Amino acid sequence: MNQMKTNRQRGGAAHLLGPYGLVVILVVLFAVFALILPQTFLSGRNFNAILSNQAIPALLALGAMIPIATGKFDLSIGYGLGLSHVIVLKLIVDGNMPWGIAALVAIGVMALVGVINGLLVEFGQIDSFVATLGTGTVLYAITGAITNGARVVPGDAGLPAAFKDLYDSKIAGVPIVAVYLLVVAVILWILFERLPLGRYFYVLGSNPRAAALIGIPTKRYSIYAFAFSAVVTGVAGVLLASQQQIGNPSVGMDYLLPAFVGALLGATAIKPGRANVIGTLVAVITLAIGLAGISQLGAQFWVTPLFNGVTLLIAVGLAGYSARRKLRAGAVAAPPPAVSTGGDAGPSSPSGPSTTAGPATSPGPAAPAGMPGAPAVTAR
């Protein structure tokens, strides 16, 4: 009896540690650095710096998360970040365009890029990894052509004050970019957790064939995912332009690895094996606290890319392990298939064929949890 109770307790602890293991790591990291560096790490200046510096990487991680939920990858987001922030500054500095219109143009261009990525993947039948790497390279070439390989530097008049305040201002002492991040995160959380669109994304990512069989237009929703990802990337590019105030055509690549680290590591938290908004935010905060702590301890410049690279490998490994464990749990929980005995013919013999009253039929894949009533599919 005591052994069974102990096993149940261990199973409950493992069940909680799976979804909330990353949260535990976050708390432990925070406590360690707070004890080691109480005067600097626990200061309001440090918290504001973390919120301000990590808002753009967090936005990009949320953008990368959307195609991952559908089983795809968008490697063009780093190049898209560089293109969108250069477009904004180029239109403001050389085109004398109001910054609001310039921002909308940049976001619109990125939305078009996302649609192109989706078309290449779904109708061109190109693997998403290869397709988005190719479009990203094209975006980098376009960025270089726009800037002629040089930086976009404002003239003596500088940039509009309202545009600079887009990143620099604060609300109740909190950097306004953190508010932007919160708004985008809430919108995506509603999309993924409360709307059918998000459930369709998850079904598409877990079993595209089943999604098609229950009537989901898989190609359309895959294009939606790439487009939404690109729009979030465009928003991040506008904020990056407001932060740096100088157009750097190669800046986007510095954000690509942290974005995928956050998105993949987030798939191991809250809802293991599934890309999700809250898990992504927890992952980004965990990475931010870790980087802030080691930088305050005087780490060398190469520690940051080492930290990101190792964390990415751990994130991919944990994401794969969580997905496999989820599949094993589903296989164990699935009931054995029913054997038709053809009325009163009696139980079928293990060595002989079973007798059925009519043509054999098998139901199609069951509708995933949370999906609206899905029609049954009958094999013919």
| Tens digits of pLDDT across the chain (380 residues) | 555 455 455 444 445 556 888 888 889 989 999 999 999 999 999 999 999 999 999 999 999 999 999 999 999 999 999 999 999 999 999 999 999 999 999 999 999 999 999 999 999 999 999 999 999 999 999 999 999 989 999 988 889 999 999 999 999 889 999 999 999 999 999 999 999 999 999 999 999 999 999 999 999 999 999 999 999 999 999 999 999 999 999 898 889 988 998 998 898 888 888 899 999 999 999 999 998 998 898 888 888 888 878 877 877 776 667 667 767 776 665 555 555 444 444 444 444 444 444 444 444 444 444 444 444 444 43
- Confidence (pLDDT) at 368: 41
**Model-level pTM?**
0.80
Give 131's contacts (C-beta < 8 A, 6+ positions apart).
117, 120, 121, 124
- Confidence (pLDDT) at 113: 97
- Confidence (pLDDT) at 335: 58
Structure tokens at 230: 């690109």
Residue 375, classified by CB atoms within 10 Å of its CB into exposed (0-12), middle (13-18) or buried (19+), is: exposed
Please tell me whether residue 147 adopts helix, strand or coil conformation.
Answer: helix
**Which parts of the chain are beta strand (E)?**
170-171, 174-175
Residue 175 bridge partners (DSSP): 170
- On the CB side of 88, CA atoms within 13 Å amount to 33
- Confidence (pLDDT) at 363: 43
Please answer whether residues 272 and 18 qualify as being in contact, where contact means their C-beta atoms are separated by less than 8 angstroms.
yes
Please tell me whether residue 367 adopts helix, strand or coil conformation.
Answer: coil
Sign, Cα dihedral of 271, 273, 279, 282: positive
Please tell me whether residue 363 adopts helix, strand or coil conformation.
Answer: strand
In whole angstroms, what separates CA 258 from the centre of its chain? 11
- Confidence (pLDDT) at 268: 84
Q: Within a 10 A sphere around the Cβ of 287, how many other Cβ atoms?
A: 24
Rg (CA), the chain: 25
**DSSP letter (8 states) at residue 378:** B
Residue 174 bridge partners (DSSP): 171
